[in-house]
Amino acid sequence: MVNCQLWSNARALAQLKKNGRKVGKLRFKGEGWFKTLNYNQSGFKLEGKKLVLSKVGEIPIKLHRKVKGKVKGAVIKRERSGRWFAIFQVEDKLKALPKIGKPLG
């Protein structure tokens, strides 16, 4: 995903430059600068109270609620405090809202 983000940013900057905007050089972040890691449909597994990440390994986690639906992606995020959090993107069935008989706008 990091490689995908890099090329996406490079294409966006090239498009801005083509449209006449002033664009500087890309700056690459050093070690410890990344605040998020994206796992898009692969490279991670949720097994009980452990999160298995490719290239990282098994990490014990605390789930504050049960994951409902099919997990489609995960974002691993570092807060300012230095703590890491996992955000799961799930696909779930939509539930119809009850009809209230009044127009909403």
For 40-82, the pLDDT digits (tens) are 888 899 888 899 998 889 989 998 888 888 889 999 998 889 8
Same domain, 51 and 84: yes
The domain total for the chain is: 2
Same domain, 71 and 45: yes
pLDDT at 29 over 80: no
Angle formed at CA 77 by CA 28 and CA 35, multiple of 5 degrees: 20
Same domain, 18 and 41: no
- Quick one: tokens of 28? 């690459």
The pLDDT assigned to 58 comes to: 92
pLDDT digits (tens, 9 = 90+) for 91-101: 988 888 888 88
Using an 8 Å Cβ cutoff, are 58 and 50 in contact? yes
Same domain, 39 and 86: yes
Same domain, 81 and 48: yes
Lowest mean pLDDT among 14-23, 31-40, 74-83, 84-93: 31-40
The pLDDT assigned to 35 comes to: 84
Which residue range is the domain that position 78 belongs to?
35-91
User: Whole-prediction pTM value?
Assistant: 0.65
**Residue that wins the pLDDT comparison between 93 and 104:** 93
